[in-house]
Structure formats: C-alpha cells, structure tokens
Structure 1
Amino acid sequence: MTRFLRLWKDGAGAAVDGSVHVSMNDYLVRGFRDVPRVAMAGLRFRRAWPETEGALGLWFATTGDGRRQISVSVWREPADLQRFVRSPGHRRVVRDFRDAGVLLNTTWTAERFDRRLIWRQAEDRLTGRLADVPHH
C-alpha cells in the first residue's frame, strides 16, 4: 500500500456550509536531481496559502522517495481555483517545471469541508481505487 507523508495548511477562506471544490495535482518528478527544486516550489505555495483568496486549505504530500509530489487544495468554489491558476506565481511554476515531470490533475466536489472525508477521497484517487481517475 502506498503511504503518503502529508502536511496540512489552513487557507484564507472561512469555513463554508455545503459543498467545496477540490483540486489534486499528482506530479511525478522524472529525475531525483529535480526533487528538491519541485519540493521547494510547493513549499513556497504552502507558506503563502493563508493569504490565498478562496483557499480553505491545502495538503502538500509526497511518497517515500520524494519523486511523487502531490497537492490537494480545497476551495470555496471553482472560480477561486481558476484565479489562483491564472496568478503569475502559479504560471511561473508551471513554466519552470513543465519538462521536469508528468502532471496528472483531477478535480471534484466534496459534499462538505471535512478534512478526513476529502483526504480519503484523494487517497482513493491517488491509489487507483477509483478506476476512472489516472494516477502514478
């Protein structure tokens, strides 16, 4: 069974009643020499997360060898995620690491902002328990 080392960070958004939007990036770094650079970029996003508009929270996760870098972000609504994706910092990271690995992304709606529920849903996707979701 795949084990994930994960760190949670609260976002700027206040808790919401009802459904939330979840985005998961599963990035497989091609070479070990790029693992520290990719991890540092992810940790910079994590550090700034409390100021990210519409973000309710974020997991930064990895597997034992560090080549698989994962983010699971929870948003009030899809428009909040889209604003973040269009931000200069995010666009720069996408450009800088375009050739360093293979990215698989998936989004879904969680019934409520429940960290335990959402991580279980993420693990189902990351480990292949959901057949229609690509994973590394």
Structure 2
Amino acid sequence: MLRSRWCQGPAGDFLGDRAAANGVDSCMHGRRSGPLIVSVTDFTSDAYRDLPGIARRGFELRRRWPHLDGAVGMWLWGAPLARRCGSVSVWTGRRALAGFVRLPEHVAIMDEYRERGTIRSVIREYDSFDAPRIRRDAEAWLMPDDPGRGARGAPRPGG
C-alpha cells in the first residue's frame, strides 16, 4: 500500500509536539484535548484506466485541505495493482466531516466515479491524536482477510 505524506488541516495546529512524536511530518503547535473523528474510505475501481483520473482528482482535493474548517489532517493511500485507493482523514467532529462530504468538489468526484467501482467507509472516534494507532487501525480495516478481495472488489465480511 502506498501512502501520501500527512497533509495538515487548520485544526491540526492544536496537536503540537504530539504530532511530531507520533511520526507526523508537520510543524504543528499547541495542544487540544477531546475526541477526534477518523474517516477511512476505500474505493475499488472497476477498471485500471480510471485510476490516474481518480488519483489526480484526489490530489486536487487534497490541496484544499489546509483551508477546511475542522480538518485536522489526512493521508491518501493507494494499492494500484488491486485498483484501490482512498483516504484516512482526521476531523474535530462529525459536523466538520459532513461539511467536507458536501463540498462541490467532493460531490463532483463522487458523481463522476460512483458507478465505476465499489466504495466502502468507516468512521471511528478517538479520544486523542495518535498517528501510529490511527494508521494501524485504518490499515487493519483496509487490508483484506481474503487475498482475492482486492481483485473482486467485494468488501470483506464484517467490513
């Protein structure tokens, strides 16, 4: 699985030294307590030919990240041979995540690719920011129990 570098959002400023200690490449300052929402998405494309466009659109949307209210940060990920890609995004709350989902740019991407593959997602709550734990949990959810899952695009049981 390929993973982009951490892209900090404006709400990521509160993480301070905890982020650096947890292996997040950023220059965040300050502290914050309270729960965070983590959204993990997994899109399996029906065709390899769609992957370059999906990746391009994902990186274009990522450029907006530093300006999104409630965005703590995110990683993009991809598994090209399995025709899969997605994101792991961290938010200050469900309202911030919902605001992102409704962005015209996000809606346009979903409209363009929704019928060209299979998407699944999960939302989890964390008491504090712990990048290694968030990545580990996300990768455990993303990695198939069934080696054929990536090729077929069917979600694994319980996922």
Q: In angstroms, what is the RMSD of aligned CA positions?
A: 1.7
2:10 aligned residue: 12
The alpha-carbon deviation at position 111 of structure 1 amounts to 2.3
The alpha-carbon deviation at position 70 of structure 1 amounts to 1.6
Indicate the larger mover: 35-44 or 64-73: 64-73
1:78 aligned residue: 94
Output the CA distance in 2 between the equivalents of 1:65 and 1:46: 22
For these two proteins, the number of residue pairs brought into alignment is: 130
Output the CA distance in 2 between the equivalents of 1:132 and 1:56: 30
The 4+ residue runs of structure 1 with deviation greater than 4 A are none
Superposition TM-score, scaled by structure 1 size: 0.88
1:28 aligned residue: 44
1:126 aligned residue: 142
Sequence identity of aligned pairs in percent?
33
Indicate the larger mover: 51-60 or 13-22: 13-22
Output the CA distance in 2 between the equivalents of 1:132 and 1:111: 27
Higher-helix-fraction structure? 2
The alpha-carbon deviation at position 85 of structure 1 amounts to 0.8
> CA separation of 1:31/1:73 partners in 2, compared to 1, >3 Å: closer, same or farther?
same
Q: Please give the residue correspondences for 1:34-53 in structure 2 after superposition, counting only pairs within 5 Å.
A: 34-53=50-69
Unpaired segments of 5 or more residues in structure 2?
Answer: 15-31, 146-155
Amino acid paired to 1:69: C
* Contact kept in structure 1, 2:51 and 2:80, CA below 8 Å: no
Output the CA distance in 2 between the equivalents of 1:27 and 1:58: 16
Superposition TM-score, scaled by structure 2 size: 0.76
